[in-house]
Amino acid sequence: MYVSKQKHMHNEHTDEHFQFRIDNGEYIEPRDYMPEAYRKNLIRQISQHAHSEVIGMQPEGNWITRAPSLRSKQILLAKIQDEGGHGLYLYSAAETLGVSRTEMIEQLHAGKAKYSNIFNYPSLNWADIGAIGWLVDGAAIVNQVSLQRTSYGPYSRAMVRICKEESFHQRQGYEIMATMMKGTKDQQAMAQDAMNRWWWPALMMFGPHDTDSPHSKDAMKWKIKRETNDELRQKFIDKTIPQAELIGLTVPDKDLKWNEAAKKYDHGEINWEEFYSVIKGDGPCNKQRLSHHIKYHEDGVWVREAAEAHKLKTNLSVV
Ligand code: FAQ
């Protein structure tokens, strides 16, 4: 053992030494040696994650002005601001890998970078805000708790901060659903309808089955991912079903049943055709989400110019 460690210590700029560090449970930092494919895979995943946080502000932003009370409006505003902050941590983490935020935004606008499938569905009424917080943030937490131990230091540290805020988000949504389920028949029907529409897309957030996930093999080897798509999806299902039952919601899956031997829920088939069509750009709201982002990015040119001018002025006055 000692001999092999010595050997690796002399060859720090090799893929072999890199893998040795990963297997040893070390974190990789921006200036450390890393294989080009590791860097590329991380830029892809972190930038898509950042875009998801920011695009994810839109379906909820739609309901700020129509929140049913001052309290619920304040909470929703705080939650949406958090999502913006999460996007910033993540863009900054990706920048440490040598890509600029401008480039990442250009890739998003050109349709070359993805963002989560889930944000291409419409938020039709207040119950949807409950379903987004409970199911979408609930799924995001399961994934992100696991990513706190991802092998890239800046990504891992961003995840630790983000997870602290996500658990408040999940409770915000669950509280809305629980309140509606204690309400009138119409309110209960609205909550159930939102559950029916968001359940399956939330399961798709974990990505394709492991057997159909092209990036998983390397991502697991490099510990970018600590658990696979299917493992995380199963965790989310097992944790969420008792929560639905507690407030009287029915999970819209006729094949769902408890598997006593495996101590987990077996679930029905996910509609992968829908998933691939949504991530290719043909979901109900893809065009709306992107054009909204492009419009406000262009409207914000003057802010970025003013910040640059201020920086220049400050630098000059220092000289
Ligand atoms: N949506 O080989 P894999 C949130 C793509 S944050 C769209 O399995 P990977 C907070 C994938 O990119 C939600 N595309 O890929 C919030 C790849 O295509 P590519 C975001 C997807 O990366 C709440 C292809 O399919 N969270 O919600 C999706 O190893 C409320 C093959 O897939 C993260 O991004 C999908 N769901 O595993 C904010 C977590 N799944 O790139 C506001 C970090 C797969 O080759 C309001 N990301 N694809 O063109 C991850 O953990 C991973 O990237 C996975 C996918 C697990 C999402």
What 238-244 contacts at long range (C-beta under 8 Å, 24+ apart), as own/partner pairs, is 238/264, 238/265, 239/138, 239/142, 240/135, 240/138, 241/265, 243/134, 243/174, 244/195
Distance between CA atoms of 240 and 139, rounded to whole angstroms?
A: 9
The residue-averaged pLDDT of 213-229 equals 98
- Phi, psi (degrees; rounded to nearest 5) at 298: -70, -40
Ligand 1 geometric centre to CA of 4 (Å)? 37
Tens digits of residue pLDDT in 230-272:
999 999 999 999 999 999 999 999 999 999 999 999 999 999 9
Distance between CA atoms of 166 and 150, rounded to whole angstroms?
A: 18
Protein residue whose Cα sits closest to atom 32 of ligand 1: 213
Protein residue whose Cα sits closest to atom 37 of ligand 1: 207
Ligand 1 geometric centre to CA of 137 (Å)? 14
pLDDT at 2 exceeding the cut of 50? no
Atom of ligand 1 nearest to the CA of 48: 34
Ligand 1 geometric centre to CA of 141 (Å)? 13
**Residue entry with tokens 């629980």:** 178
pLDDT band at 167 (very low <50, low <70, confident <90, very high): confident
- 49 pocket-lining for ligand 1 (C-beta < 6 Å): yes
Mean pLDDT over all residues of the chain? 95
Ligand 1 geometric centre to CA of 206 (Å)? 7
Mutate to test the pocket of ligand 1, among 206, 213, 222 (most ligand atoms within 8 A of CB): 213
Tens digits of residue pLDDT in 96-129:
999 999 999 999 999 999 999 999 999 999 999 9
DSSP collapsed to 3 states, 252-291: CCCCCEEECCCCEEECCCCCHHHHHHHHHHHCCCHHHHHH
